[in-house]
């Protein structure tokens, strides 16, 4: 299976095929599963710019609807993380006269609320109206649209150039990335920066984190691919900083070409990526082989424990639960429910496999023998909160980087 690259027009060869999948964040209500949307989850790499991307694109209007269930402030770790980012911008990039900050995919306003409290001009661009309203309740100014070149042109005309553009776990979600980069080049002030954080291909490959692959992740970025993409649109990658959040992310900083010095980290990371083989199709093919091993091992473990009469429930219902349960064929016959703290997901079902999602109280009211941790990137926070489960003899099942019991 081959497709043209969305960035440079090169050929994208499908190297990872996880089969037929529903949308990661669909979470249908009981009784509303008859018309679920499915697509072929195939991921490949461009043979020119090395950008890793989905071969089948799902329209953004289908993915990001008014009841979009993800809330960025749902995790204490995430709240602290975004507060620190906002304060960092206030201390460095937003210190001039009348500065202006724009966040793409501002979600529930967890980052921009700090900037709003500081009295700095700002604008969140958020197409999902439910979370946009949550932003407004925090005093954040929101434009309820998708960001592209046309949006950038209108924002600049009304508000002037942006000193800071920011996006967290959203830029890799946008299939029209070329238009986003053209928009950034248009909207940024000459001394401005475009900073974004996304799951990092190097970490995904190293940890066999195949569950990061779902419909919303149109791309999985590497430093090499972002550098090449930026150059096509008059921008320059001036810094890249590895981060632990989301199980291994990278914070990229773009600026107008020639406007800022390039950090030595960029070159160091490019050398590391070359050694890891991140620009080679063979690396993705080996990743796909390891993902099949994890699938087979996890399915065998869950079925074996179930046959022994052990009770297993799921913990955490991030979008990646859809990839894992559908790829592994794990349904409510093996896991009767999964608990999650997001109210908008409770009472709904995991798309495709139809595992019910319940509130966290369902977990603590009757502790199971085993908990399959789908929100593995929050393992430390979750295990600390659920200490009583372990004290009563409960065990955690994890599948990253391989299947193991804690």
**What are 14-44's pLDDT values in tens digits?**
999 999 999 999 999 999 999 999 999 999 9
Contacts of 377 (CB under 8 A, 6+ apart): 245, 246, 247
Indicate where the chain has its CATH 3.40.50.720 domain(s): 283-405
pLDDT at 247 over 80: no
Work out whether strand 395-398 and strand 404-405 pair parallel, antiparallel, or are unpaired: antiparallel
pLDDT of residue 79: 84
Residues 284-308 have a mean pLDDT of 98
Look up residue 5 and give its two tokens.
Answer: 């690259």
CA dist 65 and 226 (Å) reads 28
pLDDT at 130 over 90: no
CATH 3.40.50.150 fits 72-276, yes or no: yes
Q: How far is CA 381 from CA 160, 168, 197, in A?
A: 41, 20, 21
Are the C-beta atoms of 205 and 273 separated by less than 8 Å? no
264-276 vs 223-232: helix crossing angle, rounded to 10: 120
pLDDT of residue 75: 63
pLDDT of residue 248: 83
pLDDT of residue 246: 63
Residues 335-353 have a mean pLDDT of 96
pLDDT at 238 over 70: yes
State pTM to two decimals. Answer: 0.92
The band of 314, judged by pLDDT with boundaries at 50, 70 and 90, is: very high
**Burial call 226-253: b when 16+ CB within 10 Å, e when fewer:** bbbbbeebbbbbbbbeeeebbbbbbbbb
pLDDT at 295 over 90: yes
The band of 225, judged by pLDDT with boundaries at 50, 70 and 90, is: very high
CA dihedral 206, 208, 214, 218 (to 10 degrees): 20
Are the C-beta atoms of 132 and 71 separated by less than 8 Å? no
Positions of E strands within 267-377:
312-315, 338-339, 357-358, 370-373
Q: Sort residue 86 into left (φ over 0), alpha (ψ -120 to 50) or beta.
A: alpha
At the topology level, CATH places domain 283-405 in Rossmann fold (3.40.50)
pLDDT of residue 129: 81
pLDDT of residue 63: 55
pLDDT of residue 59: 73
pLDDT at 108 over 90: no
pLDDT at 366 over 70: yes
- Range scoring the smallest mean pLDDT among 55-64, 292-301, 370-379: 55-64
Indicate where the chain has its CATH 3.40.50.150 domain(s): 72-276
CA dist 2 and 299 (Å) reads 30
């Amino acid at each position: 299976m081959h497709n043209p690259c969305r960035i440079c027009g090169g050929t994208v060869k499908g190297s990872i095929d996880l089969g037929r999948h529903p949308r990661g964040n669909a979470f249908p209500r009981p009784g509303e599963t008859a018309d679920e949307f499915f697509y072929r989850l195939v991921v490949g790499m461009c043979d020119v710019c090395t950008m890793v991307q989905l071969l089948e694109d799902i329209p953004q209007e289908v993915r990001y609807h008014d009841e979009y269930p993800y809330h960025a402030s749902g995790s204490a770790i995430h709240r602290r993380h975004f507060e620190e980012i906002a304060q960092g911008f206030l201390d460095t990039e937003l210190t001039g006269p009348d500065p202006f900050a724009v966040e793409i995919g501002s979600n529930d306003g967890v980052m921009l609320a700090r900037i709003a409290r500081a009295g700095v001009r700002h604008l969140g661009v958020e197409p999902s109206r439910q979370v946009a309203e949550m932003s407004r309740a925090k005093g954040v100014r929101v434009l309820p649209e998708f960001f592209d070149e046309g949006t950038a042109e209108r924002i600049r005309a009304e508000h002037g150039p942006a000193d800071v553009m920011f996006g967290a776990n959203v830029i890799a979600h946008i299939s029209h990335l070329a238009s986003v980069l053209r928009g950034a080049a248009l909207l940024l002030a000459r001394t401005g920066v475009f900073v974004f954080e996304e799951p990092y291909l190097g970490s995904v490959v190293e940890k066999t984190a195949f569950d990061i692959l779902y419909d919303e992740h149109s791309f999985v970025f590497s430093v090499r691919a972002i550098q090449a993409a930026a150059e096509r649109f008059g921008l320059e990658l001036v810094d890249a900083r590895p981060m632990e959040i989301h199980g291994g992310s990278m914070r990229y900083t773009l600026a107008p070409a020639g406007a800022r010095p390039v950090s030595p980290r960029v070159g160091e990371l490019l050398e590391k990526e070359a050694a890891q083989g991140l620009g080679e199709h063979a690396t993705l093919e080996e990743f796909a082989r390891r993902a099949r091993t994890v699938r087979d091992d996890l399915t065998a473990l869950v079925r074996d424990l179930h046959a022994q009469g052990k009770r297993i429930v799921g913990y955490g219902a991030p979008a990646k639960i859809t990839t894992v349960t559908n790829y592994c064929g794990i349904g409510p016959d093996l896991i009767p429910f999964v608990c999650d703290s997001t109210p908008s997901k409770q009472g709904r079902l995991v798309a495709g496999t139809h595992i019910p999602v319940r509130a966290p109280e369902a977990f603590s009211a009757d502790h199971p023998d085993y908990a399959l941790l789908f929100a593995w990137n929050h393992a430390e926070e979750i295990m600390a909160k659920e200490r009583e489960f372990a004290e009563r003899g409960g065990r955690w099942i994890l599948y990253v980087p391989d299947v193991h019991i804690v």
